[in-house]
Amino acid sequence: MTLSSAAPVGTAAVSTQLREPSTRDEIYVAGQWRQGSGAVIESVDPATGDVFATLHSATPGDVGTAVEGGLAAAAQSKWADQLPHERAAVLYRIGNAIDAHATEISALQTRNTGKTLTETRALASSAAATFRYIAAALETMEDEITPARGNYLSMSIHEPIGVIGAITPWNSPIASEAQKVAPALAAGNAVVSKPPVWAPWISLYLARLCDEAGLPRGLFSVLPGPGRTVGDALARHPKIGKITFTGGTSTGRTLGHVAADKIIPVTLELGGKSPTVVFADADMDQALAGVLYGIFSSSGQSCIAGSRVFIERAVYSEFVDRLVSAANELRVGPGTDPGTQVAPLITHSHRDHVASMVDEARSEGAVVLAGGYAPGGDLADGAYYRPTILAGLSNSARICQEEVFGPVAVVLPFEDEDDLVRQANDSVFGLAAGIWTGDYRKAWRTARRIDAGTVWINTYKQFSISTPFSGTKESGLGTEKGRDGIRSYMRQKSIYLDLSGQPIPWSR
């Protein structure tokens, strides 16, 4: 399907035929829907343990087809030469298509990842908003005429890179993809996406919505499959001009090496072990609600989970007592139940990994104040784990230094601001932090002193697509979101245009 330059913007342009998100056994390679020839992925509903779909994955051989197909589609549709408002019109329609199908997207995503419907609905809305924001940013992006030092016009312009390899994790499908795919397409590139084995369906559905919205076929391929084969082949393909990755720090490090070998740009959004700080002068009700949400929403499977809770000594006992009571009252259940606060984890094996980290912390002397076990009864078949609070450890314990990616918080006392900053920054990560205090000067000082890409003050886990997101230290490299997000998928070029009409004097 090619892009009509006068394509209208709005839901009216989106067909409503595509009602049900498909779990057809098909991958999307260079504009063709077809069965993959790789190993079969079994998708299991984490709430029940039942297999609900199977998918033949892509193979490394599909990578070349997708990359060449992306280049051909870009050339044929003149995607990079479309005027910004023309590309933006397609992006608006993709955003509107996501919104129009948000209920179905949310239901499928809850089935695939276990997340609550409230959360998956929010992820769909966020993805739709990302496409629309990026479209608006694209329409208003400007190149620069730079101050000249001679009789010429000097300009700094931006051009697409070519084909982008986008590799994403399982914890927030559609939102993570949108964060990469929207700006990469906006910039005039083709995109080959490698979604995670545990959650491939929504990425494939996004490709169907892109088709519906009039994105030239072949410009966006989706190759679900194992990271070590398909992901690796994608990153290493000689015609991939940029790698954009969200996932764990060790995978990010591997991809950083690949990018270095190829001398191509890379964006890495990686893991975290974020401190949440409760000062004695905080509004305790507000802090309690924020700390609970920060660690236990998404069942703790969030890069920015506030997993190290630092509490000022003067209120430590009181706050921990309240936190433990509140954690014990959290409702664990299936994501489809509107009353559920803590849904199952992504898979049973991931739940077992979380449980093993808690067991190891126990053997290192952790006191389990809440949770620390998988619930039985009606929930026995699902990948559930009770919200867990550990105490009695120092910040150097393994569970305080390594990401658990589950509903596990460690509570740690601190004496004063200096002690807090020292402990909070004693981590290889630097993704996010939360500060709860009634003193805005203290909040400002602490926010400036903590190593983190994002700091929330008296709130947590709030996001705006217009606000840049990045990690420091081993939490990442490069920035996503914000107006400059599109630029990160472009290369800069300088052009000097003579205005004199005279030969350069030297040659005379």
Sketch the per residue contact string, 299 through 338, with ligand NAD: x for CB under 6 A, - otherwise: ----x-----------------------------------
Using CB under 6 A, which of the segments 131-139, 163-171, 320-328, 355-363 binds ligand NAD?
Answer: 163-171
Assess contact for 388 and 424: CB atoms under 8 A. Answer: no
Query: Considering the rule CB under 6 A, would residue 471 count as an interface residue with ligand NAD?
Result: yes
Using CB under 6 A, which of the segments 68-76, 212-220, 263-271, 384-392 binds ligand NAD?
Answer: 263-271
CA triple 112-105-53, angle to 5 deg: 35
Subset of residues 195 to 214 that bind ligand NAD, contact rule: CB under 6 A:
196-197
What is the Cα–Cα distance from 267 to 465, expressed in whole angstroms? 17
Size of interface with ligand NAD, in residues (CB under 6 A): 29
Q: What is residue 250's DSSP assignment? A: H
Q: What is residue 103's DSSP assignment? A: H
Q: In 3D, which of 38, 7, 350 has the Cα closest to residue 171?
A: 350
What is the Cα–Cα distance from 396 to 383, expressed in whole angstroms? 29
Token pair belonging to 61 = 């051989």
Query: Considering the rule CB under 6 A, would residue 451 count as an interface residue with ligand NAD?
Result: no
Catalytic residue among 269, 312, 403, 480: 269
In terms of Cβ atoms closer than 10 Å to its own Cβ (0-12, 13-18, 19+), residue 442 is: middle
Query: Considering the rule CB under 6 A, would residue 269 count as an interface residue with ligand NAD?
Result: yes
Q: Based on CB atoms, which residue is closest to ligand NAD, 36 or 231?
A: 231
Query: Considering the rule CB under 6 A, would residue 36 count as an interface residue with ligand NAD?
Result: no
User: Which of 211, 403, 451, 474 forms a contact with ligand NAD (CB under 6 A)?
Assistant: 403
CB of 198 to ligand NAD, least distance (A): 7
Q: In 3D, which of 267, 293, 275 has the Cα closest to residue 455?
A: 275
Whether residue 269 lies in the annotated active site: yes
CB of 330 to ligand NAD, least distance (A): 22
Subset of residues 224 to 253 that bind ligand NAD, contact rule: CB under 6 A:
227-228, 231-232, 235, 246-248, 251
What is the Cα–Cα distance from 28 to 225, expressed in whole angstroms? 12
What is the Cα–Cα distance from 127 to 303, expressed in whole angstroms? 18
Sketch the per residue contact string, 104 through 143, with ligand NAD: x for CB under 6 A, - otherwise: ----------------------------------------
Query: Considering the rule CB under 6 A, would residue 64 count as an interface residue with ligand NAD?
Result: no
The 3-state DSSP class for residue 24 equals coil
CB of 488 to ligand NAD, least distance (A): 14
CB of 482 to ligand NAD, least distance (A): 14
Q: Based on CB atoms, which residue is closest to ligand NAD, 13 or 243?
A: 243
CB of 339 to ligand NAD, least distance (A): 26
CB of 302 to ligand NAD, least distance (A): 7
Query: Considering the rule CB under 6 A, would residue 167 count as an interface residue with ligand NAD?
Result: yes
Query: Considering the rule CB under 6 A, would residue 485 count as an interface residue with ligand NAD?
Result: no
Q: In this chain, which residue has its C-beta nearest to ligand NAD? A: 227
Q: In 3D, which of 263, 306, 313 has the Cα closest to residue 288?
A: 306
With a CB cutoff of 8 Å and minimum separation 6, the contacts of 261 are none
Q: How many CA atoms lie within 13 A of 461 on its CB side?
A: 22
Q: How far is CA 327 from CA 115, 288, 414, 436, in A?
A: 18, 10, 22, 19
Q: Rg (Cα) of the chain, in Å, rounded?
A: 24
Name the residue type at position 11: T
Q: What is residue 247's DSSP assignment? A: S
CB of 87 to ligand NAD, least distance (A): 25
User: Which of 31, 46, 69, 169 forms a contact with ligand NAD (CB under 6 A)?
Assistant: 169
Q: Based on CB atoms, which residue is closest to ligand NAD, 253 or 313?
A: 253
**Which residues are the active-site residues?**
269
